[in-house]
Structure 1
């Protein structure tokens, strides 16, 4: 009588599960030790105390017969991407409930979104016992991951329970690709647990296909960030008080968004030069760092060049100064509505920030040379609707030339809006894929 031996594939899966859970223990110990010295890590740990007690009470609101869709989001950026998808899902499935799990305290502490059919919770750490306890409590019919905050034990346990799991807004960046290829056998053990993968673009098909071994289940749905920036572009309530205080048009204004000190060293001399040559030109400056000493240094630098500056906190019924210095967070995506031009920070620092937010307003976008972390920033350069620059002189020349060419401004603005419009609709396409597994 022949005995059925476990397949090589099963043995490999068991090996990777065992290896991950052995390595995870000392890593978690290091994280807990680091939490004694690092504020954000400390918040990550403390925030999970009493998690299951709170979640148990929250789940009592869910009718027993209701289907539960679990969506996992890592940080504020992923939440912004997930929000338009959530809205489409809630409209299409009005009787379903949604459990939104978060990993980072930065999004948990600042979460202002809520819905009667939604439950917000921290994601328990990825230990086998906590995973099973969480899944037993939530009992999801479907699981969605926004982008790439993937936790192996959750994926393996859901696969064993036949709970469909879908990776949304999936992509593999140039930065991550070499390491994922190097350790592709490990990544395959995790990615192959997904029932489907929704890619942000056609070029990502080949990359994802190297890791995810079921190409027939990879769907090009687009990037839900385009839907989100379009929604936010229509919402100006947050900045209504600023709009009522200004007396200049968009064509006379540039918005600097989330600039780092390394950006400001390059752009401020250029902007001073342009403002001195164009007396009606205005600037809205929203730095990444809003500590008082940094804001004070920026204000002194500009005023030392003879340019008047007002703080947002001190804004009265009318803005008299040529520069409005933003000293609070949460307004940037809306502020881009006020300027025909935008300089997005990070391009001389860790990498350019969100270029889609100003583009949704039809702004002509500038950024520094470090933009390869952003596929859409590269696409906008290729389409000749955005500008990348390497030094102060180049930035001043680009901006000055545009200010002297109104037809070029109009043409680029229209092309920028078209770029956003053509890429919208990812949330609906993603929901179409999700519906196949419900």
Structure 2
């Protein structure tokens, strides 16, 4: 058996090597982004958003009379999880200053147009210098980190400055790097957090292998609070009711090419049903390809100019802009959520479930525990291929009672998991993290 000092020395050596590999990864990533940006729109936005970053931040960052909150999100999904927490904080104290940073363009582009949040920025690439400069400018009193992304230098600098750091809507599984034999470098990042708010009990059980249980709270998913708020304050989407024309409606949201391929035959052979497709990617090339696959289709922008209710030649509406999907599911008889045929996995199914509609998706949902729970409570159905999809959809359309019962189960699941934001706010208040 090795003496403790030898074991500690070996661990430190391993962390040092992994730290060097991490720095190498950052260099390669930066180089790769620049290379990909020559043809990729998102990569171009990623670079453009970081040009003259600190100069722009110094010129635009303003603070109110009270405490300062910094929330970091990877992308749009994480923003939707963090948003209800920020909204409650701002309602409780209108004088607080809120700044939001993003790693991905998809989240940034949506959030910067959100009237509730005025200070939205990209996060500079992780480095010791960038971390120091950013924190010197922001001087946050509390930092909220949403679900994913662990940036070593930022987290270490926050810890060094003794700023309360909360992780919200966390999910932890055995296959994550923290729990691997080579994960010591990433385990050090977990030690930077003051408290963890995780989505389910299994996440707490897993995280407790590394972190003391008193630092972990099972709060649920803050997205439930978000989708409930959207549903309960629903506003009509212009032109959609006219398109649906009191027919049975299937809304397919956040679709990729593989998802759309599963629907092609069914849409062509069921002209009596209205279909609304909201692709995940809305660049011109992708939209043109989708329109070719569905002959009786029209873009939403075209429909808004035309709007001829009762036009039986059109049964498929392709949404060619962003920001409407969370309300489109309201019009559905049956919903379908994309991403379940891709490696990255399923998109947000809670947006559809909250309206009390059955949810269908593909087989790749292992990263989404809520998908498993919705299946278990009969609120959702997973399909493997187009034949199974058509069988499931036809079965539902022929059975109104099943549509109702599955929809009710889906809605009940959302409401039974509400309240995550409240638990986080209560922790902040009880620990006086935003009290002057």
1:317-356 deviation line (CA, Å, top 9, x unaligned): 3342222222333322221111120111222223222111
TM-score by length of 2: 0.86
Closer, same or farther: CA 23–42 of 1 in aligned 2, 3 Å? farther
Q: Which residue of 1 aligns with 2:406?
A: 412
5 Å-filtered alignment, 1:308-319, equals: 308-315=296-303, 316-319=306-309
Deviation, structure 1 residue 301: 4.4
Deviation, structure 1 residue 299: 4.0
1:363-386 deviation line (CA, Å, top 9, x unaligned): 111111112121111111111121
Cα RMSD over matched residues? 2.8
| 3-state SS in 2 of match to 1:329 | coil
| 3-state SS in 2 of match to 1:35 | helix
Deviation, structure 1 residue 151: 1.5
1:375 aligns with 2:369: yes
Deviation, structure 1 residue 45: 3.7
5 Å-filtered alignment, 1:4-403, equals: 19=17, 22-39=20-37, 40-59=42-61, 61-63=62-64, 66-110=66-110, 111-115=112-116, 119-173=119-173, 176-177=175-176, 180-211=179-210, 213-237=211-235, 239-249=237-247, 252-273=248-269, 275=270, 279=272, 281-292=273-284, 294-303=286-295, 308-315=296-303, 316-319=306-309, 320=311, 321-350=314-343, 351-403=345-397
Equivalents in 2 of 1:13, 1:43: separation in Å?
A: 39
Q: Which of the two has higher C-alpha Rg?
A: 1
Equivalents in 2 of 1:325, 1:105: separation in Å?
A: 23
Equivalents in 2 of 1:237, 1:340: separation in Å?
A: 18
Equivalents in 2 of 1:365, 1:268: separation in Å?
A: 19
Deviation, structure 1 residue 38: 1.2
Contact 2:178 2:187 in 1 (8 A): no
Deviation, structure 1 residue 182: 2.8
The answer for unaligned runs of 5 or more in structure 1 is 1-6
1:271-326 deviation line (CA, Å, top 9, x unaligned): 444x26xx3x22112233445555455444443xxxx3333222123342222222
Deviation, structure 1 residue 78: 0.9
- Which of 394, 417, 422 lines up with 1:423 in the alignment? 417
Closer, same or farther: CA 129–437 of 1 in aligned 2, 3 Å? farther
Equivalents in 1 of 2:105, 2:262: separation in Å?
A: 33
1:190-211 deviation line (CA, Å, top 9, x unaligned): 1012111101111211111123
Equivalents in 1 of 2:368, 2:93: separation in Å?
A: 33
Deviation, structure 1 residue 67: 1.5
Equivalents in 2 of 1:415, 1:76: separation in Å?
A: 27
Contact 1:166 1:434 in 2 (8 A): no
The answer for unaligned runs of 5 or more in structure 2 is none
Contact 1:142 1:437 in 2 (8 A): no
Contact 1:171 1:208 in 2 (8 A): no
1:65-104 deviation line (CA, Å, top 9, x unaligned): 5211221112111111111111011112333212222222
| 3-state SS in 2 of match to 1:197 | strand
| 3-state SS in 2 of match to 1:62 | coil
Equivalents in 2 of 1:94, 1:291: separation in Å?
A: 38
Contact 2:353 2:379 in 1 (8 A): no
Contact 2:360 2:380 in 1 (8 A): yes
Closer, same or farther: CA 337–32 of 1 in aligned 2, 3 Å? same
Comparing 384-393 with 234-243, which one deviates more in the overlay?
234-243
Closer, same or farther: CA 94–318 of 1 in aligned 2, 3 Å? same
Closer, same or farther: CA 94–231 of 1 in aligned 2, 3 Å? same
Equivalents in 2 of 1:409, 1:24: separation in Å?
A: 50
| 3-state SS in 2 of match to 1:189 | helix
Closer, same or farther: CA 14–70 of 1 in aligned 2, 3 Å? farther
Equivalents in 1 of 2:72, 2:8: separation in Å?
A: 27
Equivalents in 1 of 2:290, 2:167: separation in Å?
A: 42
Contact 1:271 1:396 in 2 (8 A): no
Deviation, structure 1 residue 145: 0.3
Closer, same or farther: CA 323–105 of 1 in aligned 2, 3 Å? closer
